[in-house]
Amino acid sequence: MNILITGCNGQLGNEMQLLEAKHPEHCFFNTDVEELDITDSEAVEAFVDHNQIDGIVNCAAYTAVDKAEDNQQLCDLLNRVAPGYLAAAVERRGGWLIQISTDYVFDGTNHTPYVETDPVCPNSTYGRTKLAGEQAALEACSRTMIIRTAWLYSTFGNNFVKTMIRLGKEKPELGVIFDQIGTPTYARDLALAIFAAISQGVKPGIYHFSNEGVISWYDFTKAIHRLAGITTCHVRPLHTSEYPTPAARPHYSVLDKTKIKQTYGIEIPYWEESLKACIANLL
């Protein structure tokens, strides 16, 4: 197949590229904004037609959650409009789309892991535009697979793990929120799940994916420092109210992965195993 990867310079896009060599049976077109402006419908259609694209993995998004509150138009363009363009272009060729989404489509008031059929109720610009992007993609392409993920990190780009390692080395003390619960996701594990879907055949619908287990940001930071060998930084637990942000965060972001595990027969690593692997690659 000819497969288009958008957002190739991001965390997930970079991990996808690392795995492409293991799939020589496919031809990959790795693009970021320099190669393809996905907010330009004519450019998208021309690229998909010219390169005879059979499938698209859309890793591109506006992910600056707080900045999104002041940049709603750009956020909407990247997170809602662009997925619709990609979906429509690949639908005309009878192809498929894998659209990456987020736990932010929920309001975070659950006390048990979210399943794909739970009611959505985003309470931030980022969450609302990502949900609209899901709907646009599903409406425009009959073979759309939505994968919602959470707390993404990797060796690439800016993310929580790299920030906590840097701050842990620089500061004697850190305050980290303890009353927001979720599951970290190593972008490499998500990329492996995407390739499992591609190899077995993309089955349309909404799926959830994160690593296994449950943890708070505070406990996650403690684990990051322990695995990175940082012993000189004292980490304090903070309430969300002590660290106000422009965008509301879900207090509970745990996703139920039963559907994707059963559909594709995949095993998902425990979050600490994956964190250990990531940090080993960072240090």
Query: pLDDT tens, 205-219?
Result: 999 999 999 999 999
Of 217, 195, 197, 196, the closest CA to residue 151 belongs to 217
Pairing outcome for strands 234-238 and 173-177: parallel
Q: In whole angstroms, how far apart are CA 271 and each of 127, 231, 253, 255?
A: 24, 21, 14, 13
Of 20, 81, 93, 18, the closest CA to residue 55 belongs to 93
Question: Rounded to an integer, what distance in angstroms lies between the CA atom of residue 219 and that of residue 74?
Answer: 34
Pairing outcome for strands 234-238 and 185-186: unpaired
Query: What residue type is assigned to position 151 of the chain?
Result: W
Which of the 8 DSSP states describes residue 250?
Answer: P
What residues pair up with 5 in beta bridges, in sequence order? 30, 57
pLDDT at 283: 83
* pLDDT of 85 over the 90 cut: yes
Q: Tell me the mean pLDDT in the region 231-247.
A: 94
Reported pTM: 0.96
**Tokens 């190593």 identify what position?**
186
Q: pLDDT-based confidence at 155, cuts 50/70/90?
A: very high
Q: pLDDT-based confidence at 123, cuts 50/70/90?
A: very high
Asked whether the beta carbons of 214 and 155 are under 8 A apart, the reply is no
Give catalytic residue positions. 126
How confident is the model over 17-40, as pLDDT tens digits?
999 999 999 999 999 999 999 999
pLDDT at 61: 96
Q: Tell me the mean pLDDT in the region 108-132.
A: 97
* pLDDT of 203 over the 90 cut: yes
**Percent of the chain scoring above 90 in pLDDT:** 99
Mean per-residue pLDDT of the chain: 97
Q: pLDDT-based confidence at 170, cuts 50/70/90?
A: very high
* pLDDT of 79 over the 90 cut: yes
pLDDT at 237: 97
Question: Rounded to an integer, what distance in angstroms lies between the CA atom of residue 28 and that of residue 24?
Answer: 9
Q: Which residues contact 238 (CB under 8 A, 6 or more apart)?
A: 175, 176, 177, 178, 218
Q: Tell me the mean pLDDT in the region 146-154.
A: 98
Question: Rounded to an integer, what distance in angstroms lies between the CA atom of residue 27 and that of residue 21?
Answer: 10
